[in-house]
Amino acid sequence: MALNPAETVWFWVAFFAYIGMLMIIGVVSSKKTKNIDDFMVANRGIGSVLTGLSYGVTYFSAVLLIGCPGLTWMLGSQWMFITLMNLSLGTIGAFLILGNRTRKMSEKLGALTLPELIAERYQDEKYIRPIAGLVIAVFQTIYLVSIFTGLSILLQVLFPGVENAYKIAVIICGAITATYLIIGGSHSAILSDLIESLIMVTGLLTLIIGGVVMAGGMAALNANIRADVATSGYFGLSADQWLLFPNALSMSMLGMAMVTTFGTWGSPQMATRFFTSKDRRSIRYGMVIAATWVFIVSFCAWFAGYVGRGQPVPGGATASLQQFAQNTAGSDSVPKNWYEYTMPWMIVSDYAVLPVGFAALFLAAVTAASLTTGEKLILVASSSVARDFYQKGIMKDKDISDEQTLKVTRYSIIAIVVITVLMALWPPAMILDLCMFSWASLNAFTLVPFVAGLYWKKGTKRAALISGIVALTVAVLWFVLFNQKWRTPGLPLLGDWGKTTEMFSTPWFTVHPSDIHEFLVSQGVAIPLFFIISALDKDKPDKEFLDDLFDYISSDKEIDRDRSGTYANVKIGGLGKSHEAKASESSTPPE
Amino acid sequence: MELNENFWKKLVLGVLIGVVVFVIIVYAAGLQLNTFQVTFWGCIAVLAVTIVYVTQLEKEGGNK
């Protein structure tokens, strides 16, 4: 139940070939990286293809590939519905509602990071940037830990029986990621997306098509699932309930759908994809590319659990998966997170659905996915520490230069990688939960001020700050107190109450406090709080500044600047048309 | 007839939200629809509308 020696060699060849490519990209990019604008937002010169692919690849990581198939397997096919939400509102909605306005506002205000954008938008000079910078650094690191943990589950299948192999691999990955990020910055992270996205799409499509064919088509797949659910049902789900929506677990699914959909809107690593875009056309075509990519990858990832459970396995697919997880983890009993081994089971077990020889390449692709998403998180977190917390926060009065800030960014990269690697050496269970917690917490602070700030002039800095802090506190407390999988015996305060108290019932499910995701609760607090405080606040925003800003972001005007970014002219067919200079505004370019 | 981007944006957003709401209503009504089929065809419909939207905007306004 592991790769054979020849396949293991192929894995390492493919893996190091990919890493080698990244290093070359890093070295080439370093020659293009002349200033902090280049490093952080690729000189705002990214075209449509890379804008779209970069968004898609940043959206989905190893967490998706490990966590999603497992949830479908255990909790039912209704979880695939999340793909529709992620596609329509998480991707297309984000591009339509946020894309061009974010791009123009970030350029007009000279913002390189999301905290900077929010602080400049609300004309706050003291608190928003350093606090947001710190929040982002902390929760991006937590997200990063979940990614490294996903990596561990995959890499375990490479070294069955070797005790510290995963830990060594994590350290190597961390070192490589940090090295080429320090060298290349945003340019290298964005171009590596192109390579990674091609590998991921090819691998996932092969996995899914191979799985359906091996099972004998959709009808056979469904019949096998019915038989397996009858013998290994969880949470009382019948076969019909497994295949249909709604069922007893629908509230949990909707919570996950909301956080994975709207959680991207306020996530700094997603918002900064728009900062790097060259023009409106890049956003528009980028939307089509991102949507197509998200559909293929997200659908395949969720569907993988469906395909896996529908495989014709003597004794049942679930029993086989549990045995596989136990053997791979080297434990005496079935691990609690056995369902997270779905993807490795489909790749390297006796019932693997990939063609012989392809498993190694696919494993390398998923490893690559983890690394490149990780890069962007590290970049965002280190930028937040250096620029928002350090340069414009605690050292605001000391006139720190951009060059010095760049140095701090690079030191921060090293520090964050070291912290993440140390945390990942003792990985937590339930990586999807951890990932969603970090998204919920980040969005608690940023989502409402960011989105409202793009459209509503009357929001105040006090409202942005207070609503963010209160919502973040609520998100963290809700997770710690109510999340059944994370609630420790030392914190029994409200856990039992959260599980047993009925809030309301439907014909299909009953909702308890612990069923409600911290994202929904924190946004439920943040949204009214922001608008109420803004309405009551007597310290009103500067009307002239806002009129000028909103005139610009809602018009066709563009600031006259050299946008000939390194990858501005990457084309696929006729989509990536060259930038047409539209110098219609003579205002001073941003700092 | 030329229509500006705001019109198309509102139209597409309306369709996107409409598709999602429709699916939720269908599900909530307890109709016996397979999740796989609804998700797959829903995504295809959303993608198709998006491509039509972008193509139309390009015809009308280019990079404006």
Q: Residue B35 and residue A299: Cβ atoms within 8 Å?
A: no
Interchain pair B20, A80: CB under 8 A: no
Residue A531's pLDDT is 94
Set of chain B residues whose Cβ sits within 8 Å of the Cβ of A291: 46-47, 50
On the 0-12 / 13-18 / 19+ scale of CB atoms within 10 A, A104 is: buried
* Optimal mutation site among B9, B36, B51, interface A, most CBs of chain A within 10 A: B36
Distance from C-alpha of A329 to C-alpha of A263, rounded to nearest angstrom: 32
CA distance A450 to chain B (A): 20
Which residues are registered as beta bridge partners of A558?
A583
How many C-alpha atoms does A505 have within 13 Å on its Cβ side?
Answer: 4
The structure's pTM equals 0.81
Strands, DSSP E only, in A205-313?
Answer: none
Calculate the alpha carbon distances from A8 to A89, A143, A148, A311 in Å.
40, 28, 20, 25
Do B43 and A295 lie within an 8 Å CB cutoff? Answer: yes
Q: Per-residue b/e over A455-476, b at no fewer than 16 CB within 10 Å?
A: eeeebbbbbbbbbbbbbbebbb
Joined tokens for residue A317: 């697919």
Check if A288 contacts B (Cβ < 8 Å).
yes
How far from A584 is each of A465, A547, A556, CA to CA, in Å? 35, 18, 9
Q: Quick one: DSSP state of residue A484?
A: T
A303 CB within 8 Å of a chain B CB: yes
pLDDT 10s digits, B33-61:
677 887 888 889 888 888 888 888 777 76
Instruction: Give Cα separations from A114 to A109, A506, A528 (angstroms).
Output: 11, 40, 22
pLDDT score recorded for residue A568: 39
Shortest distance, CA A301 to any CA of chain B (angstroms): 13
Q: Which of A281, A288, A580 sits opposite B50 (nearest CB)?
A: A288
| Six-digit token string for A496 | 């039992």
In this prediction, residue A462 carries a pLDDT of 93
Task: Answer whether A582 touches B (CB < 8 Å).
Answer: yes
The nearest alpha carbon in chain A to B29 belongs to: A246
- Do the chains contact at A96 and B12, CB–CB below 8 Å? yes
- Using a CB-CB cut-off of 8 Å, the residues of chain A touching B40 are 299
Indicate yes or no: CB of B43 within 8 angstroms of CB of A83. Answer: yes
Using CA atoms, how far residue B55 sits from A181, A512, A535, in Å, is 37, 46, 41
C-beta atoms of A556 and B19 within 8 A: no
| Interval A393-449: pLDDT, tens | 777 777 778 778 888 888 888 888 888 888 777 766 566 777 788 889 999 999 999
C-alpha distances (whole Å) from A423 to each of A138, A149, A167, A174, A410 are 12, 9, 11, 12, 20
Please report which residue ranges of A331-401 form alpha helices under DSSP H.
342-348, 358-383
- How would you label A246-263 residue by residue, b for 16+ Cβ within 10 Å and e otherwise? bbebbbbbbbbbbbbbbb
Let me know: does A216 contact A65? Beta carbons within 8 Å. Answer: no
Chain B residue with minimal CA distance to A87? Answer: B43
Res A121: pLDDT: 92
Distance CA A248, CA A270 (A): 32
In the predicted model, residues of chain A with pLDDT beneath 50 are 486-489, 564-591
Given CB atoms, is A299 within the 8 Å cutoff of chain B? Answer: yes
What is the residue whose two structure tokens read 């429709």?
B22
Q: Which residues of B touch A279 (CB under 8 A)?
A: 63
The Cα of B9 is separated from the nearest Cα of chain A by a number of Å equal to 7
Chain B residue numbers with beta carbons less than 8 Å from the beta carbon of A77 are 34-36
Pick the residue from chain A with its C-alpha nearest to B21: A85
Q: Which residues of A touch B46 (CB under 8 A)?
A: 84, 87-88, 92, 291
